[in-house]
Amino acid sequence: MIKVGVLGARGKVGTEVCRAVEAADDLELVAQIDVGDELDALVSSGAEAVVDFTHPDAVMDNLEFCIDHGIHAVVGTTGFDQQRLDTLRGWLENQPRTGVLIAPNFSIGAILMMRFATLAAPFYESVEVVEMHHPTKADAPSGTARRTAELIAAARREAGLGPVPDATSTGLEGARGATVDGIHVHGLRVRGMVAHQEVLFGGVGETLTIRHDSLDRVSFTPGVLAGLRAIADHPGLTVGLENFLHID
């Protein structure tokens, strides 16, 4: 049983994390902390690891406290730049057995999709990325689609592949989507959809499609639990949950 504290426990995401930790046989929820609560409760409750889904303004103080007390941290809060990561590394030097995981994406499906897209990229002449989201999303294409395209483009370059074939000479503006590092990316906005992405690879006579459908916001919780279970074995700073998954 790993004793877990949740920071941001009353937020939308934190509430789901608390529920998932309580439902897991090998995890025990010992502290639920939100704005106004004292971090000392983490120590008094004996928390071995925390999950932090709070705010960029609060997360560094939280992590300094945790590292000082040798409590591992699995962090989904955003806003980490190079300077913040360096600060964390400095703090962790004094606590060589403590681990911090900073993850922009806890969806195991999204991580697998990006990994498989990278692995498949060298074998196919053509590739395009299509992401589909609810129509209240402000940005297009999605961050995951951009990241996927960058990973594919890098894998193609390394394999010595040239540009994707495209004979389009006439048409309507935007018909071929946006391009990210030379990869065409298309964003759909459809009521009823949540968060979906397809990567289509094509070669002579065949296509390979990798598709991830996130139908519910709780889809990130298995990734958080995977992080909690692995964090004690990964002291120091880790960026990206993919480093904890043994995908290869």
Q: Kindly tell me which of 31 and 101 has the beta carbon lying closer to a second copy.
A: 101
Tell me the C-alpha distance between 159 and 135, whole Å: 37
Q: Are 125 and 202 in contact (CB under 8 A)?
A: yes
Report if residue 160 touches a second copy, rule: CB under 8 A. Answer: no
Q: Are 156 and 119 in contact (CB under 8 A)?
A: no
CA angle 230, 231, 237 (to 5 degrees): 135
**103: annotated binding-site residue?**
yes
Q: Which of residues 31-50 bind a second copy (CB under 8 A)?
A: none
Q: Kindly tell me which of 154 and 190 has the beta carbon lying closer to a second copy.
A: 190
**148: annotated binding-site residue?**
no
Report the residue from 41, 43, 60, 200 that binds a second copy according to the rule CB under 8 A.
200
- If one counts every other C-beta atom within 10 angstroms of the C-beta of residue 44, the result is 10
Q: Kindly tell me which of 91 and 201 has the beta carbon lying closer to a second copy.
A: 201
Q: Kindly tell me which of 86 and 166 has the beta carbon lying closer to a second copy.
A: 166
End-to-end CA separation in angstroms for the chain: 28
Give CA 21 to chain center in angstroms: 19
Report if residue 154 touches a second copy, rule: CB under 8 A. Answer: no
Type of residue at 189: R
Q: Which of residues 174-193 bind a second copy (CB under 8 A)?
A: 174-180, 184-193
Q: Per-residue x/- marks for a second copy, 106-145, CB under 8 A?
A: -xxx--xx-xx--xx--xxxxxx-x-x--xxxxxxx----
Report if residue 57 touches a second copy, rule: CB under 8 A. Answer: no
CB of 68 to a second copy, least distance (A): 34
Q: Which DSSP state fits 25? A: T
